[in-house]
Amino acid sequence: MCFSANASFVVSSGLIGIGVATINKIKHKFQIPFSIIPVLFSFQQLTEGVLWLSLTTSQFNYLQELVTFTFLIFAQVIWPIWVPASIWLLEKNNLRKKILFALLFTGIMVSAYLFYSLINYNIESKINNHHISYLIAMPKFIYVNGGVLYFMVTVIPPFISSIKKMNFLGIILLISYLFTKLVFHEFIISVWCFFASIISLMVLYINFNYEKEFKQNFKLIE
C-alpha cells in the first residue's frame, strides 16, 4: 500500500480475517479461486509492507529487489489471469461464459508479456512524496497498450457476469481505478492495489449471497 509499512501490515492482517470468513462460505470447488482473492491481496499488502521497510531501513535493504519483483508479480502477472478466471468459473450462462473466457485468454497474454517485461527490463521501486512508485523500463507505447488491456481484463469481467452482486464489484473497481488514475497517476500500481484490497469486502459479500442466487438461477439440486 502506498502510505506506510504499518498501514500495509494492518491492511494485510485485516484481509486475512476477511479471507477466512470468505473461505468459510465456500460450498463448491469452483468458488475457491474467487474466494481466496482476499488472501492473495493480504500477501500482496504484506509484501509491500516489507518493501517499505527495505526502502527506509538499512538492515532490510537486501530485500528490496526481491520484494519489488514479488509485489509486481502479484500486481501485473497474477491479477490479469486470476480475476477473469475466477469469475469465469462462477458463471453458468453459456454466452457470458464464452465472453469471460475470451477475456481470460486476453489476460493470459497480458500476464505473459508483463512477466517477460519484469524479467527482461530494469525494474525499480522508490519512495516519492510519501508513496511508492514502481518503474519498469519498457517501451512507452507497449506500457500504454498493456495498461488498456490490463484494465479490460481486470475491470470488465464483473460487468459480464450474470451474478447480480458481481456488477457492484465492477462499479467499485471502476470508480477506484478512475479515482486512482486521476489523483495518484504516478503511483497507480500501488494505490489501486490498495483500493482493490478493500474491495475484498465485496468478495465476501458476493460469496455470502452466491449460494442462494446460484440455486435460484440455475436450480442447483443438492
DSSP 40-65: HHHHHHHHHHHHHHHHH-GGGGGGHH
The pTM assigned to this predicted structure is 0.86
- CATH number, residue 69: 1.20.1070
Residues 6+ apart with CB under 8 A from 90: 30, 31, 34, 161, 163, 166, 210
d(CA 167, CA 190): 24
Q: pLDDT under 50 in the chain at which residues?
A: 1, 220-222
Q: According to the model, what pLDDT value does residue 139 have?
A: 76
Q: According to the model, what pLDDT value does residue 147 have?
A: 81
Please write the tens of the pLDDT for every residue from 115-126. Answer: 988 898 888 888
Residue 55 falls inside a structural domain? yes
Burial class (CB in 10 A: 0-12, 13-18, 19+), 221: exposed
Name all contacts of 156-159 with Cβ < 8 Å and 24+ positions apart.
156/103, 157/83, 157/84, 157/87, 157/88, 157/100, 157/103, 158/87
Residue 222 falls inside a structural domain? no
Residue 219 falls inside a structural domain? no
Q: According to the model, what pLDDT value does residue 80 have?
A: 94
108 vs 88, 118, 149, 202, CA distance in Å?
13, 15, 11, 24
Residue 204 falls inside a structural domain? yes
Residue 218 falls inside a structural domain? no
- Domain with 17 in it: 5-212
Q: Which three cell numbers stand for residue 84?
A: 477473469
Residue 199 falls inside a structural domain? yes
Domain count, the chain: 1
Residue 39 falls inside a structural domain? yes
Residue 182 falls inside a structural domain? yes
